[in-house]
Amino acid sequence: MWKITFQALFVLVLAWFFGNFVLGWFQQSPVKPRTASRAAADGPDQSCFCHLTGVLDDCFCDIESIDVFNNFKIYPSIKKLTERDYFRYYRVNLKRPCPFWPDDGHCSIRDCHVEPCPEYSQAANSVSGLSDCEQAKELGAINSTLSNQSKEAFADWARHDDAQDHFCELDDETSPDAEYVDLLLNPERYTGYKGPSAWRVWNSIYEENCFKPRSVYRPLNPLAPSRGESRFVCRARLCLEKRVFYRLISGLHSSINIHLCAEYLLDEGWGKPVWGPNIQEFRQRFDPAETKGEGTRRLKNLYFLYLIELRALSKVAPYFERAFVNLYTGNAQEDGATKELLLQVFNETKAFPMHFDEKSMFAGNKMEAKTLKEEFRLHFKNISRIMDCVGCSKCRLWGKLQTQGLGTALKILFSEKEIKNLPEHSPSKGFQLTRQEIVALLNGFGRLSTSIHQLHSFRSLLKQKR
C-alpha cells in the first residue's frame, strides 16, 4: 500500500514540475509583432480606439506626457480643491430665457413638466419617450438644498465681494434670479436629456458659431431635413486661430460626453440608482466606426483644450500669489488652507514642460489680429448665450459653468501684459477676476482633468472586453 502511494505521489510531483516548465517556456517565448498582414487577418483592434499616442496638432506636446502629468499629479489635487467651500458653490442664473428660439426643451428648465415629451416620442417613433422624459425630469432637477448657515455665509460673501473693485461684466452674479448652487450635490452625469432640443443646441454652436472645417463630420439631428453645408463659410485649411477656436469647442463637447458616459444611470434599483461607466454609449460617441472616423479627433481636441486651460492656470498664478488676494468664505483657517492648496496646483501647472504657446496666436498683421480676436470674443459670447437654451437644469448648470471657465481661460491668455504689470499690494484696474470666474475656471479645468482620468478607466474596461 505504501509503495503504491509513493509512486502516485512521485507521478504527481513530476507532472507538476513538467507543467510549470512548459508554462514558463510559453511565457518567455517572444510574441510575434502585429504586422500589417497579421492585423489584416485579425481585423481592427476595436478595444484600443481611445488609446491615443503621439504629438498633438498645433502644439509640441505628446499625449502620453499629459496622461501621466494629469492622472498622477494634477487630478488628485484639483479634485480636493473643488471640494473646498469656496469652489463648491457657484452662483448662476438658471431662469434666463433662451434668446434664440422658444423654450421647447425635452423637459422645461423651471419645473420639468412633461408637455413637450409626446411630440418627442412621436418623432422618435417610440412610446418610451414619456418615461424617458419623466426620468429626465427627476435626474435633471437641481438639488437646491442649502443650510441656513450657508445662506448667511453667502450674504457675507456678497458684502465682501461688493467691496472689491470690479472691472469686468458680472453677468449672472448681478441678476436677481441668480442663486448659489452646491456643485457637489449636483454632479455632472447622465440626466436623460436628449432628442431635438439637445441636438439643436449643439448644432447651433457648431453651425453658426464655430470656424468649422468642411471635412469634419457632425451628427446633426436625424429627425430634421438635411440642409447641407451651404451655411458654412469655411476654407479647406483654416488659420491657426480659427482651428484653435473649433478645437476648443469640440474638446468641451467631448469632455461633457465623457462625463455622461462615465456617470451613466445603469440601474434605478429600489430607490437607490446605480451610476457607472457605459461602454456602449462611449463607443457610440468616440469609436471611429460609429463616428465616421471622427472619434479619435474628438478625443485629441479634449487634450488640446486641456493644454489651453492648463496654460491659463500657469499664467494667472501671479494674480493669486499676491498676499492680499484671499479666497473668502468667512472661515480664516479654511480660506488659508484653500489658498495654499490652490497655489500648490499652480506650482504643478508651472512645472509642466510642454505648454501651449499662445504667442503663436494673433501674431500676424495687427489689424487682422485685432479683427480675429474680436471674432473670437463675439463667437464665444454667442455660445455662452446658447447655453441658456439647454432644456435640462443640471445640463444648463454645467454647460454655463464650463463655458464660463473656458471664457475666463481665454481672458487670461489675452491679458498677458496686464498680468505682468499687476501691483503687488493693491487691486489692478487692468485685470480682475470675480468670484464666479474663479470658481468656473477651476471647476471647468477640474472637469477636463476628470475626463482624461476617466479615459484611462475606459481603456481598462475596453481591454477587459477583448
Query: Which residues are the active-site residues?
Result: 392, 395
Say if residue 250 carries a ligand binding annotation. yes
Say if residue 453 carries a ligand binding annotation. no
Longest dimension (CA), the chain: 102
Cα–Cα distance, 209 to 375 (Å, whole number) = 10
User: Cβ neighbours of residue 263 under 8 Å, at least 6 residues apart?
Assistant: 187, 188, 189, 190, 275, 276
Cα–Cα distance, 141 to 111 (Å, whole number) = 8
CA atoms within 13 A on the CB side of 78: 28
Task: Give the angle subtended at the CA of 393 by the CAs of 261 and 172, to the nearest 5°.
Answer: 120
Closest Cα partner for 149 from 182, 122, 103?
Answer: 182
| 3-class DSSP assignment, residue 243 | helix
Residue with cell 510531483: 13
CA atoms within 13 A on the CB side of 457: 15
Cα–Cα distance, 307 to 284 (Å, whole number) = 26
Backbone angles phi and psi of 89, in degrees to 5: -110, 125
Torsion sign across C-alpha atoms 57, 59, 64, 70:
negative
Backbone angles phi and psi of 93, in degrees to 5: -100, 105
CA atoms within 13 A on the CB side of 381: 9
Residue with cell 412621436: 122
Instruction: Give the type of residue at 463.
Output: K
Closest Cα partner for 281 from 251, 302, 259?
Answer: 259
Say if residue 459 carries a ligand binding annotation. no
Say if residue 285 carries a ligand binding annotation. yes
Residue with cell 478595444: 47
Rg (CA), the chain: 26
Say if residue 259 carries a ligand binding annotation. no
Question: Which stretches of 36-181 are DSSP H helices?
Answer: 36-42, 63-69, 75-81, 85-88, 117-123, 129-139, 148-162
Cα–Cα distance, 234 to 254 (Å, whole number) = 22
- In the numeric block, which cell numbers belong to residue 106? 425635452
- In the numeric block, which cell numbers belong to residue 227? 440642409
Q: Are strands 264-267 and 274-276 parallel, antiparallel or unpaired?
A: antiparallel
Task: Give the angle subtended at the CA of 287 by the CAs of 283 and 291, to the nearest 5°.
Answer: 110
Binding residues for FAD: 189, 191, 202, 250, 253, 285
Binding residues: 189, 191, 202, 250, 253, 285
